């Protein structure tokens, strides 16, 4: 007979493995593998007539897990619900409690911000009740998104084409991208000229003169701001400047302070990882999740390396601050420690946990270089450096500005040098650069070495990148940082946007859908309205607002818009996109078509010619057997797999998406393994190597 144990339920298998080692033999840790109950996929699943009551069902494929959890819960002395410490995690715990018939008044919920032995043991000793305000906040968002998505999306299918979708946050984000593109198209550039003088202190020594040269920009003409709008004016000024003397009018010297940044939130991590590492928002969250849940460190076992990665907060614990203090003083000296306390700009929503920081300060990036993957190392280093820098002293610059005059023309040159590097020892931004000014005195005469006339034009607003879109979404209070990655992925999947290098461009389809949404569902795509709705949803959590009342008020407006749209929108025929191939039967162009199981190629000569064939989707990986392209395929059941384009001569096949990365153990191709998150594993079943 099994000895009764305490049961701990977490979300992911890797987290279960890590936590199990910390708790020991008296506890059994099982993963729910995400949600166990949700709204049905086949219908809206909201009883609109009954106060918008959600109609939850067990998720298909989760039957065995539910059965196991019920079995283990019956045997256990106590059940602890240890899902993620946010709204989504609280809702998962609530659903599990309902499935296991756990009394909601029971103190069964445990939360921890980092997966360390100390944090886990502390959490076990301090269980609490399930926070129903958090649950209601999650339910409200889920119901609202379902009402919008499941009622507008079918409309788009009927009026435009199959496979389209709309969403409360998704559609607002798409509008921002389209509006930016419209602003770029409508932009009219204005011409202006920069005039820059290359100067040096008067001396007969040419080498010294060249060594001490510096650039000064024309800033004023007759005491007014310099505005040179055409070449004629620039040439006139050039002639006048060639005649006069350049003289130092005044010198301004002062200290300039540069403060360290706060530790990362989800949003700022996504932005910095995009700018400095070239990571997509999706990749950032995948790698961060791996570091949070636990990585095998040969000398110390499996450790969670980052604190919880979905947070809006910049707060850090006293313990973390003390650890940082000890490290900084020991490594750099007391003058480098400041111990800044950061406060959140917005109200304390999702502030139950800290900023994103290393769980173990003593584990420096260099120590982990050889034991974690390259992506994990780069992201960990970014987080570690940012956190340590946040607790370090300010950087101090000696700043010098030199004002120079030539008759009615005023020039200005400026530079700065680091006086005390402070936090710059570990974390530096691109704009934090030095520009040393040569020694000049008031009244000095200067030699003109060169006068550069530069024609410029005012620039349109830049296209969004993933980093700048995330920044704007956060600033405008659209959605939550944890949703940004899937939103951007959905927009790309629906072919509403495309990417050119790092820039995001809306497609014609994206414009079409946005224009329709603006005409009939302006409240959905209006940025201000979406932000107000986000505040109302936050009030459920913060102020205990009635979530069903909020949904009711929204739906009163939305349902009217839905009815009008259904009546007034005419069917739009979207021309099919050519595949670039010619039908081998009749010679006419092949077109992309959307079917029940995705896109396929069909002859434009239909119905006379009924030739169809799958669209070959290359993934940029060569076959390890013959060197031909590996392509994405779909089986009779609809399951996607990956096979050699040389079939039937080559029978190479992968059931998981292969990468161009080779296994460090056996040199076979690594493949993506999709569970709750994407892991990487060796394609050779006899090897077993995983990342």
Active centre residues (catalytic) = 308
SS3 54: strand
Phi, psi of 680 (to 5 degrees): -120, 135
Nearest-10 Cα torsion for 265, 267, 271, 277: 60
Query: Distance between CA 381 and CA 652 in Å, rounded?
Result: 38
Longest CA pairwise span in the chain (Å): 103
- Taking Cα atoms as reference points, which of 156, 169, 151, 142 lies closest to residue 525? 169
Count CA atoms within 13 Å of residue 443 on its CB side: 0
Contacts of 480 (CB under 8 A, 6+ apart): 312, 350, 534
The pair of structure tokens assigned to 209 is 């003169």
Cβ-defined contacts of 426-434 (< 8 Å, 24+): 426/385, 426/388, 426/389, 426/392, 427/260, 427/261, 427/385, 427/386, 427/388, 427/389, 432/258, 432/395, 434/397
Contact (Cβ atoms closer than 8 angstroms) between residue 527 and residue 514: no
The pair of structure tokens assigned to 205 is 């020594």
Query: Distance between CA 347 and CA 275 in Å, rounded?
Result: 27
Q: HEC string of 544-566?
A: CCCHHHHHHHHHHHHHHHHHHHH
Q: The tokens 């539910």 sit on which residue?
A: 66
The pair of structure tokens assigned to 78 is 């106590």
Q: Do you find a cis peptide bond into 253, omega within 30 degrees of 0?
A: no
């Amino acid at each position: 007979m099994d000895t009764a144990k305490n049961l701990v339920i977490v979300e992911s298998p890797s987290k279960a493995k890590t936590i199990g080692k910390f708790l020991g033999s008296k506890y059994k840790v099982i993963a729910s593998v995400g949600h166990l109950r949700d709204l049905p996929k086949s219908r809206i699943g909201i009883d609109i007539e009954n106060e918008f009551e959600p109609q939850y069902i067990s998720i298909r494929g989760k039957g065995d897990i539910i059965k196991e959890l019920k079995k283990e819960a019956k045997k256990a002395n106590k059940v602890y619900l240890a899902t993620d410490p946010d709204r989504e995690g609280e809702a998962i715990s609530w659903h599990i409690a309902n499935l296991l018939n756990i009394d909601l008044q029971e103190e069964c919920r445990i939360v921890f911000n980092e997966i360390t032995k100390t944090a886990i043991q502390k959490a076990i000793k301090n269980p609490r009740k399930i926070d129903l305000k958090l649950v209601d906040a999650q339910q409200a968002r889920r119901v609202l998104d379902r009402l919008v998505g499941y009622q507008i999306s079918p409309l788009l299918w009927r009026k435009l084409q199959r496979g389209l979708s709309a969403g409360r946050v998704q559609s607002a984000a798409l509008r921002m991208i389209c509006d930016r593109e419209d602003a770029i198209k409508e932009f009219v550039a204005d011409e202006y000229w920069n005039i820059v003088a290359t100067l040096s202190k008067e001396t007969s020594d040419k080498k010294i003169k060249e060594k001490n040269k510096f650039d000064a920009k024309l800033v004023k003409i007759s005491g007014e701001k310099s505005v040179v709008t055409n070449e004629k004016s620039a040439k006139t000024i050039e002639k006048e400047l060639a005649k006069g003397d350049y003289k130092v009018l005044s010198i301004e010297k002062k200290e300039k302070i540069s403060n360290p940044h706060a530790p990362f939130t989800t949003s700022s991590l996504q932005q910095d990882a995009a700018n400095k590492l070239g990571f997509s928002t999706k990749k950032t969250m995948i790698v961060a999740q791996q570091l949070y849940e636990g990585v095998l460190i040969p000398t110390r076992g499996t450790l969670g390396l980052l604190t919880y990665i979905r947070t809006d907060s910049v707060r850090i614990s006293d313990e973390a601050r003390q650890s940082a203090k000890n490290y900084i003083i020991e490594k750099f000296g007391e003058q480098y420690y400041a111990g800044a306390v950061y406060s959140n700009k917005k109200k304390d929503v999702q502030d139950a946990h800290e900023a994103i920081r290393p769980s173990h300060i003593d584990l420096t990036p260099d120590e982990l270089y050889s034991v974690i993957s390259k992506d994990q190392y780069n992201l960990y280093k970014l987080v570690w450096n940012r956190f340590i820098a946040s607790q370090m002293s300010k950087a101090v610059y000696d700043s010098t500005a030199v004002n120079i005059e030539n008759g009615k023309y005023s020039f200005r040159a400026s530079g700065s040098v680091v006086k005390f590097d402070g936090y710059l020892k570990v974390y530096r931004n691109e704009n934090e650069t030095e520009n040393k000014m040569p020694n000049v005195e008031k009244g000095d005469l200067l030699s003109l070495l060169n006068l550069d006339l530069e024609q410029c034009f005012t620039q349109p607003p830049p296209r969004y990148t993933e980093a700048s879109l995330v920044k704007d979404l956060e600033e405008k209070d659209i959605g939550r940082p944890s949703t940004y990655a899937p939103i951007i992925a959905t927009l790309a999947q629906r072919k509403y946007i495309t990417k050119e290098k790092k820039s995001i461009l809306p497609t014609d389809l994206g414009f079409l859908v946005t224009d329709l949404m603006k005409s009939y569902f302006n409240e959905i795509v209006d940025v201000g309205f979406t932000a107000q709705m986000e505040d109302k949803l936050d009030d459920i959590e913060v102020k205990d607002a009635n979530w069903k009342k909020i949904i009711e008020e929204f739906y009163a407006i939305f349902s009217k818009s839905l009815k009008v749209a259904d009546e007034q929108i005419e069917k739009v025929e979207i021309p099919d996109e050519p595949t670039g191939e010619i039908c081998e039967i009749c010679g006419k162009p092949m077109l992309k078509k959307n079917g029940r199981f995705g896109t396929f190629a069909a002859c434009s000569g239909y119905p006379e010619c009924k030739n169809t064939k799958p669209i070959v989707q290359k993934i940029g990986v060569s076959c390890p057997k013959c060197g031909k392209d590996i392509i994405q395929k779909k089986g009779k059941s609809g399951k996607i797999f990956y096979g050699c384009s040389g079939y039937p001569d080559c029978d190479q096949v992968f059931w998981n998406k292969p990468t161009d990365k080779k296994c460090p153990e056996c040199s076979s191709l690594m493949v993506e393994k999709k569970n709750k998150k994407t892991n990487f594993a060796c394609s050779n079943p006899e090897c077993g190597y995983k990342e």
